[in-house]
Every structure is written in structure tokens, then in C-alpha cells.
Amino acid sequence: MNMCLCLGPTGSGKTLLLKTLQSREGVDTVSSTVPTTGTNLVTVRFGNHKQIAVREVGGAMAPIWRSYYSGIESIMYVVDASNLCQIAAAGVLLYTILAQPCLQKVKVLLVLSKMDASYRQMRNEALLMLQFAQLKKEISQNISVVEASAMTGEGIDSVLKWLQGNSIASLKPSK
């Protein structure tokens, strides 16, 4: 089975996003999640009997994320777009991941999460603070961006589409 790795700073919304991907409706977004200590493996099933395993490694585990890189085909990197303080650091972390020699062939999805909680115009600030334009130039991987919310369901279809291997229209950061 294909394996996707889900990484990102602690509290960025990985666990709730995976829950939403796993069961598209009926996700309990009221009771809160707890920080993932260790990893959290979910299987996302598609209508056509295809499935993909997605492994979240908690943000608290960032120092040892690299021990999960082998055999990975894609990486979903979740950044909380409503938390501008965390974003710059998240960008540096992403850069470190994508510079790994063993990850040069992976497909990457940058998920700007909690889009319900942030102001619309924060998307550009988020990409700016991530130094996204620069990052895109320097990495060899194919990177797509999606704005998502586990609360409203925004962007969930795009993430599923990406997981199934279909390309999604990548958003261009505006000046």
C-alpha cells in the first residue's frame, strides 16, 4: 500500500485533518484532540477500492521525523495558517525535510489548515512567511498547496484528490 507521511508543527491540525479524510462525514470536531505523542496511522479509502495509508508523526517528534522517511511516496505538510507566529519556523522545518537526499522524489502537499479560523487575506501572508516562492525555486519536488479546514470541510476534496495521485491546481502566491 502507498504510504503518505503527514508532518507539521504541533497543534497545526494533522490529527483532525486525518480524521476528516478518513470519515468524510460525522467527524466530531467539538471535542478536542490531544497532541500526538508518537505516530497515528490511518487508512484513507477511496470509492474504487483504492486505499492509502497516512502516517502522522506528531510535531513533538520533529527531532526524529527522519526515522520515518524510508519508503515514503508523498508528504503532506500541515501548517496552521491562523498562527502566523509559528509559520516562519514551520517553513524552515519544511525546507529541512525537503533537503533530505532520500526524499528528492516525493510528492509534496502543503496544507494551510484552519482556514475557518484565519482571515481570508492571511493566505498570502502565510505563503510569504513560509518563504514559499523561494522554497519552490530551491526544491526538486513537486509541491501543491491547498487551503483546508477540518471544521468546514473546505479543501478536503482537494486533499483526497491529491492523495489519489491526481494533480490539483496549485495556488500561486501573489505578490
Ligand X SMILES: Nc1nc2c(ncn2[C@@H]2O[C@H](COP(=O)(O)OP(=O)(O)OP(=O)(O)O)[C@@H](O)[C@H]2O)c(=O)[nH]1
Q: What is the DSSP letter of 169?
A: P
d(CA 17, CA 27): 10
Interface with ligand X, residue 116, by CB under 6 A: yes
Q: Is 10 annotated as a binding residue?
A: yes
Interface with Mg ion, residue 113, by CB under 5 A: no
C-alpha cell at 85: 507566529
Chosen from ligand X, Mg ion, none, partner binding at 165 (C-beta under 5 to 8 Å by type): none
Amino acid at 136: K
Interface with Mg ion, residue 36, by CB under 5 A: yes
Q: Collapsing DSSP states into helix, strand and coil, what is residue 123?
A: helix
- Decide if 104 contacts 75 (C-beta within 8 A): no
d(CA 97, CA 61): 13
Chosen from ligand X, Mg ion, none, partner binding at 59 (C-beta under 5 to 8 Å by type): ligand X
Size of the site for ligand X (CB under 6 A): 23
Taking contact as CB under 6 A, which single stretch among the options 30-38, 92-100, 128-136, 163-171 is the one that binds ligand X?
30-38
Location of C-alpha cell 516562492: 133
Residue with Cβ nearer Mg ion (14 or 107): 14
Taking contact as CB under 5 A, which single stretch among the options 11-19, 47-55, 140-148, 159-167 is the one that binds Mg ion?
11-19
d(CA 14, CA 34): 11
Binding residues: 8-15, 36, 59
Q: Which residues bind Mg ion (CB under 5 A)?
A: 14-15, 36
Binding residues for GTP: 8-15, 59
